[in-house]
Amino acid sequence: MATLIISKMDKKPPKNYVNNSEFLEKIKEFKKIYRKDESTRIPEDIAEIILNIATNLAKSPKFSGYTYKDEMISDAVLNCLEKIHNFSPRKSSNPFAYFTQIIYYAFLRRIKGENKHSYIKDKSLQKFQHRMRLEYKHIKIKDYHDTDKSWETFEETPRKKASVSRKRKKSS
């Protein structure tokens, strides 16, 4: 029997999708340019790194079941690009953590907003269904099945009259 020995050389190193030191240097360069001219656009490579962080965080199990992931990612990237000027390389040397936190809380805000929207939609649908049940309570549905066709017809049942019956009127 041959035994399989896996050495440390055979293992692949984990692929980090963001090199934190390079990311920090790119942000420092951008900040230097931005101090001179505030109309400077954020470089594409920084935006791609932020998009990469947001995309990979959206793949985590915590956010895996949501159908509106694209909106979550878009909100997160927008928040990061708005707050990139608040990052201070003097205070922190970890831009990955800074932007990951911004993205995480942007995701939570989007989820909260979507849940609120869903709740409002469900409540209005319940109210509509309740009104429809009250309004069409007097309608009976009869199904007619034919060999060729199957359809439904509606027959209106007589409503109870709110007025006093004739016998009572005569006796008084």
Highest mean pLDDT among 49-53, 124-128, 164-168: 49-53
Mean pLDDT for the stretch of residues 8-23? 74
Whether the pLDDT of residue 164 is over 80: the answer is no
Residue 119 — pLDDT band, cuts 50, 70, 90? Answer: confident
- Model confidence at 40: pLDDT above 90: no
- Report the alpha-carbon distance of residue 75 to residue 139 in Å, rounded: 48
At residue 96 the predicted structure's pLDDT band, cuts being 50, 70 and 90, is: very high
pLDDT band at 147 (very low <50, low <70, confident <90, very high): very low
Residue 7, H or E segment: none
pTM over 0.85: no
CA-closest candidate to residue 138, choices 157, 160, 161? 157
CA dist list (Å): 138 to 142, 144, 160: 13, 19, 10
Distance CA 101, CA 68 (A): 19
Tell me the pLDDT band of 151, cut-offs 50, 70 and 90. Answer: very low
Nearest residue to 62 (alpha-carbon basis) of 115, 110, 107, 109? 107
Classify 142 as helix, strand or coil.
strand
